[in-house]
A and B are shown apart, each in its own frame.
Chain A
Amino acid sequence: MAENVEIIKGTSLGRDAWNRLLKNKLAVFGMIVLGIMVIAVIIGPSILYAITGFTAEAIPADGNLISSFPPTWQHPMGTDEAGRDLLARVLQGGRISLMVGIISTIVSLIVGVSYGAIAGYLGGRIDNLMMRIVDIIYAIPYILIVIVLLSFFGGPNTPKWITAMSDLFGGAGNAGVSQIFLLFFALGLVSWLTMARVVRGQILSLKNQEFVMAAKATGVSTPSIIFRHLVPNALGPVIVYATLTVPSVMLTEAFLSFLGLGVQAPYASWGSLCADGIKNIAIFPWQLIFPGVTMALTLFSLNFLGDGLRDALDPQTRKF
Chain B
Amino acid sequence: MSDHNGIILSVNDLKTYFQTEDGVVKAVDGITFTLEKGETLGIVGESGSGKSVTNLSVMRLIPEPPGKIVNGDIIFNGIDVRALSIEEVRKIRGKRIAMIFQDPMTSLNPFLKISTQLMEVTRLHLGHSKQQARAHALKMLKMVGIPDAESRLNNYPHEFSGGMRQRVMIAMALSCDPELLIADEPTTALDVTIQAQILELIKDLKERMGTSVILITHDLGVVAGMTEKIIVMYAGKVFEQAPTKELFSTPANPYTKGLLKSVPDPAHEQGAELYQIPGLPPDVAHLPPGCPFAERCDRAQDICRVEYPPFVQINENHHSLCHFAREVYAESIREGGVK
Residues of A within 8 A of B (CB): 318-320
- Interface assignment of B223: CB less than 8 Å from any CB of chain A: no
- Interface assignment of B227: CB less than 8 Å from any CB of chain A: no
In Å, the complex CA distance between A283 and B336 comes to 101
Interface residues of B, dominant DSSP: mixed
How far apart are A112's CB and chain B's nearest CB, in angstroms? 33
- Interface assignment of B48: CB less than 8 Å from any CB of chain A: yes
In Å, the complex CA distance between A318 and B25 comes to 11
Q: Which residue of A lies closest to B21 (CB)?
A: A20
Please give, as numbers and ranges, the residues of chain A lying within 8 Å of B20 by CB-CB distance.
318
Q: Which residue of B lies closest to A20 (CB)?
A: B21
Q: What total of A-B pairs shows CB separation below 8 Å?
A: 12
Please give, as numbers and ranges, the residues of chain A lying within 8 Å of B47 by CB-CB distance.
319
Please give, as numbers and ranges, the residues of chain A lying within 8 Å of B50 by CB-CB distance.
320
In Å, the complex CA distance between A319 and B25 comes to 11
How far apart are B168's CB and chain A's nearest CB, in angstroms? 26
Question: Total interface residues on B, using CB and 8 Å?
Answer: 11
Q: Which residue of A lies closest to B47 (CB)?
A: A319
Having A320-B27, A320-B284, one finds 10 other A-B pairs with CB under 8 Å, namely A318-B18, A318-B20, A318-B66, A319-B47, A320-B18, A320-B25, A320-B48, A320-B50, A320-B52, A320-B53
In Å, the complex CA distance between A318 and B284 comes to 13
Please give, as numbers and ranges, the residues of chain B lying within 8 Å of A318 by CB-CB distance.
18, 20, 66
Contact bitstring B1-45, A, C-beta under 8 A = 1, else 0:
000000000000000001010000101000000000000000000
Residues of B within 8 A of A (CB): 18, 20, 25, 27, 47-48, 50, 52-53, 66, 284
How far apart are A248's CB and chain B's nearest CB, in angstroms? 33
In Å, the complex CA distance between A319 and B47 comes to 9
Q: Which residue of A lies closest to B26 (CB)?
A: A320
Please give, as numbers and ranges, the residues of chain A lying within 8 Å of B18 by CB-CB distance.
318, 320
In Å, the complex CA distance between A308 and B48 comes to 31
Please give, as numbers and ranges, the residues of chain A lying within 8 Å of B27 by CB-CB distance.
320
Q: Can you name 10 A-B pairs with beta carbons within 8 Å?
A: A318-B18, A318-B20, A318-B66, A319-B47, A320-B18, A320-B25, A320-B27, A320-B48, A320-B53, A320-B284
In Å, the complex CA distance between A320 and B184 comes to 13
In Å, the complex CA distance between A140 and B58 comes to 59
Q: Which residue of A lies closest to B67 (CB)?
A: A320
Please give, as numbers and ranges, the residues of chain B lying within 8 Å of A319 by CB-CB distance.
47
In Å, the complex CA distance between A319 and B20 comes to 11
How far apart are A315's CB and chain B's nearest CB, in angstroms? 9
Q: Which residue of A lies closest to B53 (CB)?
A: A320
Please give, as numbers and ranges, the residues of chain A lying within 8 Å of B25 by CB-CB distance.
320
Please give, as numbers and ranges, the residues of chain A lying within 8 Å of B66 by CB-CB distance.
318
Q: Which residue of A lies closest to B66 (CB)?
A: A318
Q: Which residue of A lies closest to B51 (CB)?
A: A320
How far apart are B70's CB and chain A's nearest CB, in angstroms? 15
In Å, the complex CA distance between A88 and B52 comes to 65
Q: Which residue of A lies closest to B52 (CB)?
A: A320
Q: Which residue of A lies closest to B18 (CB)?
A: A320
Q: Which residue of A lies closest to B236 (CB)?
A: A320
Q: Which residue of B lies closest to A315 (CB)?
A: B21
Q: Which residue of B lies closest to A23 (CB)?
A: B21
How far apart are A26's CB and chain B's nearest CB, in angstroms? 19
In Å, the complex CA distance between A114 and B237 comes to 52
In Å, the complex CA distance between A318 and B27 comes to 12
In Å, the complex CA distance between A320 and B49 comes to 8
How far apart are A24's CB and chain B's nearest CB, in angstroms? 13
In Å, the complex CA distance between A53 and B42 comes to 84
